[in-house]
Every structure is written in C-alpha cells, then in structure tokens.
Structure 1
C-alpha cells in the first residue's frame, strides 16, 4: 500500500514516516513538504507540495494511494490569523477534497486535544464523544474545532471513504525540542536554562496540568489507523497527567504559586511586543483542556504507549538543553547538527531510549 503523508518534515511527520516505512503492509511512503529536506529515510520518497488553496495540485501525488495521513499545520504567525486559517483550514479542506477526487479510500487526520470544549469538573477524563467546540480565544483551537465540523459534513458526503481523526495530547520527543521552543517560547527561553538545579523556581498557575505523549508512540497509533479498518476519532495520551510540580521535580527546583491574572497580562504584553510567539489565548485554552481517556485507541487500535508522559517530557527537556533537531527545515536544531544526529534519525525509538535513560 502506498501512503502519502503531508507535513512530513515536522515533529509528528518525521516519526510517522519512519514508522510507516518500517511497516510491512506499506510498500511506499511519499512525504510531502513545502521544502524537500536533505534528511533521507529508507523507504521514504519526497515531493515538494504546498497544501495552501493555490498550492501544488495534490491529485497526481495522491493517485494510487491507499491512505493519506494529513499532518500539515502552520502555528505561526499568530499575529496573522488569516494566514494560518488559509493554510490550516482551507488547506485541510483541499487535502480532503482532492483525496476524495483521487479515489483515496482512507484519510487519517491530525486533530488535537485542542479541538475539545473545556473539560468537566473534577477532571473526569472524557472520551471521543465530548463536544469539539474548542476554545474561541485562540486561533489554534478555533481552527481545530472548525475542521471537526467540516469533517462531519465530509464524512456524510463520502460514506465510502474511511475517515480517522486522531486527537493526541501534546507530542514531545528529543529532536522536536528546538522546533517547539521556536514556535511557542521564542528567544526568551534559552535551552541551557533547563538544566536540573539551574532554575531557582518554576511558576505554577491555578489549574495548569496537561497530558503528554512521546511522538513515536503517536506514530504507532497513526500507522495502526492506516492499516486497520477503523473509522472515527481516537484520543491519544500517556499517563500520568503532568503538572508544574512534576516538571519541577525533573528540573530539581521549587514551585512558586503565581496568580493567573498578572501572568496572563505579562504574556499578553510580551506577545503584543513580539517578544514571545505564543499569545495569551493559547494559555487560556491550555487551562481549560479536558483530560482524555485513550481507552478506544487501546481497544480498537491495539495501541499502548511505550513511554510514560514523564519519559516523553524528559526526552524533550534533554533536547532543549542540547539544541536538538533533525535536518529538515522545521526541525533544524538550535545548534549545528552533528553527524550522530543525522545517523540516528533512522532509529528514532532507540534515540529516545538513550534520551530517557
């Protein structure tokens, strides 16, 4: 089976193409990206393609595919929500419509925990039936929520196409650290500051907790969704739930309680001054995210995370300290790539084990 992966050079994409290339059911992996990387992975072929509405025609690239995995997403610029809407929403619509026109029998789409409406009281984990209304104050959550509504109509119009919506928690791995620091924190978070024992304290905001997942574990679930005759949504998260106290233990520092209002005001001011790339609306959304149950993925996909959430975070923090990355445009490390970085990309699971150990 030929599988086409959009957004194949990012955090999720690099893990997904590696996992698919190792799957005996997959005969060809075609990775699509706006800029073809110098990174080479056995079994993966690359093509330059832009999912924007006026981008590269996708139909010829989708021809003969047994599945399309749609991961392409633009987080920046947060100061121009029209631009991100154009890529993320209109681009996703184009991917699905052109896949249907090309006769692709299955599409696996990267939705998110961010698509969900605020969670219930008492942090009861929600299943995939929880409303996907998102949080209206952030472009990311608005876009993810809108696409859930679009897919409702798309599935009704194309009942013969198998549509899978993956809703992962926050995805981390060592080699994603530089990319994620640039996207969400910017220059105000130098990686060298996250060494154990170096930070004097960590701020703790009321209600701040989240679920995490190693990106390679998410890739296993994507590969299973490509291979198995499943439909619908799947939550993906590892245990345990993380909070600031857990992060403080990893970094050997203490926690200082910080009121939400001044913290939000400071973040909002820094964003308006272009000092940080993430707006305060993302913080508002984070504080309202529900906790997810992954029982359906475990049951239907025969999926079980190999890494605890703390192990994924430990790998990510190591990547921050070392400026880790991969030789793809989105994943470029904060420091010059070493030969070992290039040699290790064919075995991301082993690299993560070394990071976690």
Structure 2
C-alpha cells in the first residue's frame, strides 16, 4: 500500500547517508527524489523517480538555484557536511554552516513544508555528571564539546534550525541525531580522514583475522554505531510521518569487552589521558588523521536512548553495533592507506556491506 505522491529533495545525496536514504526511498513508489550534490555519480542512471542536480552549496548563486530545485517539493533532507578538516582549515566550517544557511534560505523561499537535518550524537556534549552510563533522550540539553569543532558546528547548525522553525511555524523541522555512521563503501574515506601511516594495513588485517590477543582501548570506552541503511530507513520513516523535533538514531551500545570481541581479542584498558596525548602527538606529526576533538567525542559522549524512533517511527536497527563494527573493520582491512579499495578474495556476505 502506498501513500499520496510526494517529492523529496536530498541535499548531499551522494554521501554515505545519502546512499542509504536513496535506497530506502526507492522502496516507496509514491516518492520522487531530486538528488543534489556537488558532483553527481557518473555511473548513476536517472529514472522517472530520481533526478540528479549538480550544485555547490558555496557558490554565490547556490540559494537561488537550490530554491528553484525545491519548488513544488514536499520535503528537503539536508545531509551535506564536511566531517573532518581537509586542506584549508576554514573550508569545513564554510561548507557546514554556510551550507546549512543556504539550505534553510532556499527552503524558506520555496515554501517547503518539511525540513530534515542530519544532526549528531555529538550535540549532547559530555556525559551526564556522575552518570557516565545513563542513556539520554531527545530532551537532554544540547551543548557542545568545547574541544570538538564538529560538535560545536552541529550545535550551531541546530541553533540555526531553531531560528528557522520560529520564523516558519507552519514548517515541520526535524533534526535526526545519529551515532557514527558505518557503511563498507565509506571505509576508504574514513581511513583517509581518521587513520594514516600510524595504522598500517598489516595491523588492520591481523586484527580482522583475530591474530591480536589483546586490543588496547581507552578505559571505560562505550560506543554506539548505526549502519547507513538503517539510518536511511529512519529518515525515510521521518518523512513518511512528517515527524518534527529531535529523533535519536543508533544501534545498541557496546563496552570495551564487546568491542574487542569483534576482533576475537581481549580489551587492554589504557588510561584516557595517555591515549589522548599519544593521539595528539601522532596527529601533529601527520601520521594519524584523528584529532583530540574526535577522541573526546568517542570517550565522553552520552549513550543515546532511541525509544522515540522505535515507538513513533516503528524503527529498529537491522545491524547492531557489533555487526557494524565488523563491517567497518573488514572494509578498512581491504582499503589502501590512500583510501582506495583493494580487491577482496570473496564477496561479502549478505548484510555485511
């Protein structure tokens, strides 16, 4: 059974989350998609229900051009975001906040009835004081990690959404707060951005093969992941129901023991300050991509309660965090340090991508 015909514009459609969302929307024959990104994939065929629109959100005329694409659409989903500083340190902030301002400007001018923004677990700031294991729901106050530009910018973008919602009370405004997103075809990008020569391929392959008896991990680490396909289904459900407000989307939370078990190892707890200092040094030496800001997010961000997504969207993850971590490890082990995928010896098992 299908609903009424509707048009959804997806900004940042060629990325990891965009791929999962396009797959979810393809299963809805009543939905027509206008996919927007800077460089549409060359090997993607358009159809009567999917059309690609090249657009640079930082172009001088981006808001005008995007408003034209949005006219007549029922909803816009804003996914475009620069995860990690690359090259000019000013570039990510320009893309993230100026790009968000462009999307909101165009949506307001085009009269779109539903705006969905991909936010992050990072907006919840550090753990609740004295309650490091307490899951937080969408009512938990938004506050940034001071040492993380990613967290600060996500909070700033949500403030922009608050202003937009106040000025456009008839528009449903949704912020989907997602855990770290995993998909096998994004491993190359993740390796370029977060790893580097300090984590050689031989080490990743040994980890995948279960040849490391212990895995050093920051003491007290708790991690949530979400597969891009599960996140895409959650966003599609938000669009189906025109859900407004904040929605947490994540799989289950795993501690160090369960995470190490993904690679058949035992965890070796390492003091957080020691790990942070070593990571900062390796980053300054340009042999590791991850920054201390990302480390702070990993070890001091609350576990998210996903009860609202389960109750109101009928959503639950098909891929749990252990499975998602294994997908990521397998893909990283088959990726060169420059981010290029190596041929694999056998096709991935169903549900492993």
TM-score (norm 1): 0.87
Q: Partner of 1:68 in structure 2?
A: 76
Give the number of equivalent residue pairs: 338
Corresponding residue of 1:25? 30
CA contact (8 A) 2:119 2:175 kept: yes
Q: How far off its partner does 1:132 sit?
A: 1.1
1:170 maps to which of 175, 180, 190: 180
What is the Cα-based RMSD across aligned positions, in Å?
Answer: 2.4
Alpha carbons of 1:318 and 1:195: their partners in 2 closer, same or farther (altered >3 Å)? same
Closer, same or farther: CA 337–314 of 1 in aligned 2, 3 Å: closer
Q: For 2:115 and 2:326, locate their aligned partners in 1 and report how far apart those are by CA, in whole Å.
A: 32
Structure 2 equivalent of residue 227 of structure 1: 240
- How far is 1:78 from its partner? 5.7
Which of 108, 113, 130 is matched with 2:116 structurally? Answer: 108
Aligned to 1:264: 276
Hey, what's the Cα distance between the residues in 2 that align with 1:193 and 1:88?
37
Q: For the Cα contact (< 8 Å) 2:119–2:154, is it kept in 1? A: yes
Distance 2:352 2:16 in 1: 16
Q: 1:278 to 1:53 in 2, by over 3 A?
A: farther
- Cα shift readout 1:156-215 (whole Å, capped 9, x = no counterpart): 111111111000111112222222222211343324343222335311212321111121
1:344 counterpart residue number:
none
Tell me if the contact between 1:209 and 1:244 (Cα under 8 Å) persists in the aligned partners.
Answer: yes
Taking the aligned partners of 1:221 and 1:66, their CA distance within structure 2 comes to 18
* Alpha-carbon separation, structure 2, partners of 1:254 and 1:206: 13
What residue is the counterpart of 1:238 in the other structure? 251
Partner Cα separation in structure 2 for residue 93 and residue 161 of structure 1: 16
Match of 1:13 in 2: 18
How does the TM-score come out when normalised to structure 2?
0.88
- Uncovered stretches (5+) of structure 1, i.e. residues with no partner: 325-331, 342-350
Kindly indicate whether the alpha-carbon contact (under 8 Å) linking 1:212 and 1:242 is maintained by their aligned counterparts in 2: no
The structural deviation recorded for 1:294 is 0.7
User: What is the distance in 2 between the residues matched to 1:7 and 1:304?
Assistant: 24
- Measured in 1, the distance between the counterparts of 2:57 and 2:207 equals 36
Whole-Å separation in 2 of the counterparts to 1:75 and 1:3: 24
Matched, 1:35 2:39: yes
